[in-house]
Structures are given as C-alpha cells and as structure tokens.
Amino acid sequence: MPLRAKIDELKLPNMAATNGTEKPKTGIKIIIVGAGFGGLTAAIEAKRQGHDPVIYEAFPELKVLGDIISFGPNAGRIFYRWNDGEITRKMRALSIDLSSYGFNIHKYDTGEIVVNQKTPMKDEKAPVFNGHRGELHEIVFNYAKEIGVPIHLGHRVENYWEDEKSAGILLEDGTRVEADVVVGSDGVRSKARTLVLGYEDKPKSSGYAVWRAWFSNKDMLADPETAHFCNNGDTFNGWIGPDVHFLFSTIKNGSDCCWVLTHRDEADIAESWSFPGHLKDVYKVLEGWDPMCKKIVSKTPEEKLVDWKLVYRDPLPTWVSGYGKAPGHGRICLLGDSAHPFLPTSAQGATQALEDGVALAILLRKAGKSNIRGALRAFQEVRYERVGKVQKTGETTRDMWHKTDWAKVKDNPESIQLPREDWIFGFDQEKYTEENGDDIIQKVSAAA
Ligand SMILES: Cc1cc2nc3c(=O)[nH]c(=O)nc-3n(C[C@H](O)[C@H](O)[C@H](O)COP(=O)(O)OP(=O)(O)OC[C@H]3O[C@@H](n4cnc5c(N)ncnc54)[C@H](O)[C@@H]3O)c2cc1C
Ligand SMILES: *[C@@H]1O[C@H](CO)[C@@H](O)[C@H](O)[C@H]1NC(C)=O
C-alpha cells in the first residue's frame, strides 16, 4: 500500500485537517529557533504530525539571500508531500532544467568535454531542485505561514533554558517563552550548539574556499562566444583540475547565470557567508585553464562576487541536551547546519536539514508529550549515522575531482561523473521513521 494511503487510513474521522495529512493534536508545543530550510521544515512537518510549532528568527524581514542551492530527490520526496505537489510545482518553475542538456564535464586545460552526464528521468514524486536559495526559501517560508505556523521575525534568541517539565528561550528584550521542546535550527554559527554541548565547538578551516556569483545573462548574451550558454535554455558545465573545480550553470531558461569555483585556501577566519571577492584573484587561479572559464568569470559584475571560506567541523558527539556527556534535561536539540554543516560538494546540506525535520516530528508524535526525552534521543539515533556518511561524500567527490588521473578517465569517462547513490537519493525519511521509530524510541527510553 502506498504510504499516503496508509496515512489516510490512520486518520481519525472527526479531526480537522488542512491538507488531508494532518494528524490528531498531540499537545506538544515546539519552539523552533531559525527560519532556514531546517527550521521551516521542522515546523511544517510538526504541523503535519499534529504538534504546535512556533518559529523565532533573528532576521527582521525575509530577504532573497544566497545563490545556488541543491535539493536531491530525497528532499523532493519531502516537498512533494506538502500540499499535494503544489510546492514542488512552484519550485520547478525557478529551478534549473537539464533534461535535454545534462552536465558537461571538461578537462581543465584543454577544455575538451570528457563526458556528458545525462540527467535522470524526472520523477514527479521525488524531484530534484537546483535554484536560487533565496527564491526557493521564499516558497517554503510562505507555505509555512499559509498553514498557520506563527513566525516571529526580528526576534534574536539570546539563551535557552530547560527543566524536568519544560524548555524555553530567552529573547533579546528579556521575554521568556516556554514550550515542551526547543529546536536549535540556528545555522552554522549556532548559539544553541554551545548550550547543548556545554562547551564551544570551534570550526576548523577545511583548507578550501569557494568563490561564487549569481548574475543576469546580459553580458553573456552580448558576447557571441558565450551567448550559447543563455539562448537555448538551461546549461550546466564543470571544469575539473588539480585542487580546483569550476561549475557554471544557467538557470530559468538561461536568464540567470551562476558559477562556483572551489580552490585551496588555508585562511583561518571566522565563519561567514559573504566576503566581497575580487575578480583578479579568480583570474590568478584560472591561469593555464581553458580560456572559456576566464571569459565566463569576466561577465560577472564584481559586486556580485562572494568569497566564501569553507569551514569544517568534526561530527558533534551529541545533538541533544542531557544525552551522552551533554548537560541538561533532554528537551533541547540541534537540527540542520547547527548539528552538522556540510561541504557544498556533497550537495546535500539543505536536504539533510529537511530529513531532520521529518524525523523529529514523527518521533515526537510516536513518543508523545510524556516522553519528549525519548523522542529527541531517538531523533539523534535515527539521523546520526546517515548524516555522518552523507557528510563524507562532500570530501570524496571533491577529492575524486581534484586528484583526477586523466589517463584512467580516458578509458572510463563515467568514473568522473557526479555520484548519484541510491542510499542517499532513494531514501524516504518519512517511511523509514514510521517503520522504525517505535523500536528506536523504546530502546533509547530504557537507557539511562
Ligand atoms: C543568508 C544565508 C544564505 C545562504 N546561502 C546559501 C547558498 O547560496 N547556497 C547554499 O548551498 N547554502 C546557503 N545557505 C545555507 C543553507 O541554507 C543551509 O546550509 C541549509 O539550508 C540548512 O539550513 P538550516 O536551516 O540548518 O540553517 P540556515 O539556513 O543557516 O538557517 C539558520 C537560521 O537561523 C537564524 N538564526 C541564527 N541565530 C539565531 C538566533 N540566535 N535567534 C534567532 N534566529 C537565529 C538565521 O538568521 C537563519 O535564518 C545560506 C544560509 C543563510 C542563512
Ligand atoms: C526561452 O528563451 C528563449 C530565448 O532564449 C525563447 O525563445 C523561449 O521562448 C523561452 N522559453 C520560455 C518557456 O520562456
């Protein structure tokens, strides 16, 4: 029986449902800190499972920030369940369409196309999205509001607290808010992380940085050598070289251009998204490369160039208060980037934040208001190993590209393609958690 039918069968006849999948009320109040993809998904899924979520976000207003972001089919499967495919329909219109173009992988110096990686058949129920982070985020943000999630913008959370019976947050203005659970989905520079762990987890330099840019196709179109990237629909090209790779795509029927260039950079700086970048530094790294790369980069308005140092963290020992060596009472958890930042080469950071939200909401329903501690521990158990394995793929893909043996690739061009692994893409977090959640809750609730 399809899962959807199973869920419908479980519905009680007298309950008010917003979109045919909402469950009976659990009475569990959840404070969610941060309205990124992680926090928003946790809230939307909490609604679907019958909880009472509320979001506090530091940003005073929604801004279309960032540039390219990827969602794998394991995220598309989650989005598809929201409002019967309505959200995925909206996202598709803003995302890259490579159904006819595929992905051209070039050798960095000669520029020759070593392989054209075909785009897999579209799966309506598990679509893939690559688009502008801010534009896709807006769709999810508006959907959360539409289904009645209270989102308090301009509210920076200053502290967290918990006792045996409840947990809550302290806002900048001194307001104290109480709930049953607090979810710290406050991103890579998480404050919740320090509070859950009981110590500060310092980020490490990954040894790499990324220049990234998103801009309109105007100057690309004006140059006959680059116009073809923009006047035939969407494109995706990658140049792979020693310790450097350069990915370039055109999006929304070729109207927007976006590139990312990953290179070695040992600079040890505080974490941040956006430092202004300089084109002359990019040209230096591209010396000796296919001249097309420099040509593309030269169409970038310099103010659109971002220099983003990639920081890294070792996996945290725990994501949940009062679990393992962490202090506390088991009512506060980390979710998304605050628990596990990803390298962009995994292309799974946001997707894994989504999976977190799905698992957490189901486990809270299964464990119930009287066993929050069991639910949060089970959340970590359900997610921890998988997240760690997916995180590693960010390094393996990068290293595969940066240490390419071109003689071997000649014999086996497919070996350089972007990996599409079924254990990552074929995974259905909802189904898995529905099937295994009870057992895992029982196991962790019995433990001290
Ligand atoms: C501005 C921005 C731009 C980004 N651009 C890209 C991009 O171009 N490409 C890409 O792949 N990824 C980008 N990311 C990261 C990407 O969104 C995440 O890796 C992924 O979606 C996981 O999301 P998350 O919800 O865990 O964390 P995030 O998306 O980082 O969201 C965390 C949220 O918590 C809020 N917050 C932090 N501290 C507090 C506090 N004390 N009180 C209240 N709220 C707080 C932040 O304002 C933020 O909105 C960006 C993130 C941000 C915040
Ligand atoms: C895409 O752009 C081309 C021109 O580059 C145009 O001819 C075509 O109509 C556009 N298609 C859509 C669906 O907008």
Q: Which residues line ligand 2 (CB under 6 A)?
A: 231, 253-254
Per-residue burial over 385-409, b = 16 or more CB atoms within 10 Å of its CB, e = otherwise: ebbeebbebbeebbebbbebeeeeb
384-410, pLDDT tens digit by residue?
999 999 988 888 888 888 888 998 999
Atom of ligand 2 nearest to the CA of 253: 1
Q: What is the pLDDT of residue 3?
A: 46
CA-proximal residue: ligand 2, atom 11 (nearest):
253
Q: From ligand 2's centre to the CA of 107, what distance in Å? A: 30
Span 416-423, mean pLDDT? 89
**pLDDT tens column, 198-209:** 998 887 778 889
| pLDDT score recorded for residue 313 | 80
Residue-wise burial string across 25-54, b where 16 or more C-beta atoms lie within 10 A, e elsewhere: ebebbbbbbbbbbbbbbbbbbbbbbbbbbb
pTM for the model stands at 0.92
Q: Which of 193, 212, 365, 377 is catalytic?
A: 212
For ligand 2, atom 4, which residue shows the shortest CA distance? 231
Helices and strands in the chain, H and E counts: 14, 18
Report percent pLDDT > 90 for the chain. Answer: 76
Spacing, Cα 350 to ligand 2 middle (Å): 30
Which atom of ligand 2 is closest in space to residue 230's alpha carbon? 5
From the CA of 349, give the closest atom in ligand 1.
Answer: 19
**Taking the mean position of all CA atoms in its chain, how far away is CA 259?**
18
pLDDT digits (tens, 9 = 90+) for 29-84: 999 999 999 999 999 999 999 999 999 999 998 878 789 999 999 999 999 999 99
Residue to mutate, 262, 305, 337, ligand 1, most ligand atoms under 8 Å from C-beta:
337
Alpha carbon of 89 to ligand 2 centroid (Å):
19
Active site residue 398: no
- pLDDT-derived band at 6 (thresholds 50, 70, 90) equals very low
Delineate the domains of the chain, giving CATH numbers in brackets.
4-65+131-201+313-446 (3.50.50.60), 204-312 (3.30.9.30)
Helix orientation angle between 429-446 and 73-80, rounded to the nearest 10 degrees:
90
Nearest to 389 by CA among 354, 333, 334, 348: 348
